[in-house]
Amino acid sequence: MVSLRRTISSLGALSTFEAAARLESFTRAATELGVTQAAVSRQIKQLEAELNTALFVRAHRKVVLTPQGVALSSVLSGSFQRIAEMIETIRQPVVNDSITVGATLAFTHFWLLPRLSEFRAAYPDIKLRLVAEDSITDLRRDRLDLSIRYGKPPFDDARSLARIADEVFPVCSPRLLARLGMQAATAELARMPLLASDWVDPAWLSWRSWAKLAGDSPAIGKASDTSRLRFNHYTDTVHAALHGEGVALGWATLINPYLTEGRLIPVGGRRVMLEEGYHVLQPLGRDPSPAAIAFRDWIIDEFAAGI
């Protein structure tokens, strides 16, 4: 594929030519572009020199496109129009009293959405955009006002304002235990169907790393390697466990409602308390808006209230 920048030295000259050809006037093109008529004429001459061909026939008080100029103008007009349409398509409107908050898909689904109605009731005029992504984001690059991230500080792009500690333990549905004829406290994990997940975030535990931290049998890691069900989103892993498909690693902060309801039960009795946790992050180098401050204060209070 031919590179446009290698083909022509100045993209600005193409823009100037497109305006002059469309308006059929160097003077009107200069007015539209906010430059002098002499600057337009100079750029057109430079472009003609690079192409080694005349694009305009200069007449008294008017310019007329040559056949080569007509050909180039038709291509540029269509291309510039498509570029303008795409820019308008992807442009995000500037909205007052709006906030963009990032979090993982699992945190958004299990923790944030069930509580969100309280914030929206307290601040009905704030427009909230949630960006749920399991890949690691950069608050400055992605223009997030706040983010909830799992990990351990310090963070390169933000400072932590609040933290929820977490612990991880195996969970399954009562239906699975009944089908296997096992008791939750004495069940042998290596003999149970383990639901495996392909974590995007290296801070999250695999079965093998969990068993090592918990001092449990290495056979658990081997059993997870041969799992017949694997997921790339933690939400799917939890829902599979809820439907009796197997045993999942449960992050207490996320699955607490299911534990309270008895739909998931801790298995085996071992738990791992982690150094990592969920953090409310505010980007470095940017002052929060009033809307961001309102959401920040609300979610810090929710963190303080615990799970």
Dist. CA 75–CA 14, nearest whole Å: 11
User: Are residues 243 and 147 located together in one domain of the fold?
Assistant: yes
Sign of CA dihedral 134, 136, 141, 147: positive
Mean of per-residue pLDDT scores for the chain: 89
The residue out of 50, 71, 90 marking a domain boundary is: 90
Instruction: Specify the pLDDT at position 100.
Output: 93
Q: Residue 130 belongs to a domain with what CATH number?
A: 3.40.190.290
Q: Encode 7-52 in three state secondary structure.
A: HCCCHHHHHHHHHHHHHCCHHHHHHHHCCCHHHHHHHHHHHHHHHC
Bridge-based pairing of strands 265-266 and 127-132 is: unpaired
Residues 152 and 292 in one domain: yes
Pair (197, 290) in one structural domain? yes
167 and 281, same domain (yes or no): yes
Looking at the structure, tell me whether residues 100 and 183 fall in a common domain: yes
The verdict on 167 and 53 lying in the same domain is no
* Contact (Cβ atoms closer than 8 angstroms) between residue 98 and residue 144: no
Residues 101 and 65 in one domain: no
Q: Looking at residue 26, which CATH number applies to its domain? A: 1.10.10.10
Domain final residue pick, 90, 117, 143: 90
> Domain range for residue 67?
4-90
Q: Are residues 100 and 86 in the same domain?
A: no
Q: How confident is the model at residue 142 (pLDDT cuts 50, 70, 90)?
A: confident
58 and 118 both lie in a single domain: no
Q: How many domains does the chain have?
A: 2
pLDDT reading at 5 higher than 70 = no
**What tens digit of pLDDT does each residue of 41-85 get?**
999 999 999 999 999 998 777 789 999 999 999 999 888 888 888
Q: Which residue, 57, 90, 123, sits at the end of a domain?
A: 90
Instruction: Mark whether 181 and 300 lie in a shared domain.
Output: yes
Render pLDDT for 207-247 as a digit per residue (tens, 0 to 9): 998 999 999 888 898 888 888 899 988 999 999 999 999 99
Structure tokens belonging to residue 170: 């195996």
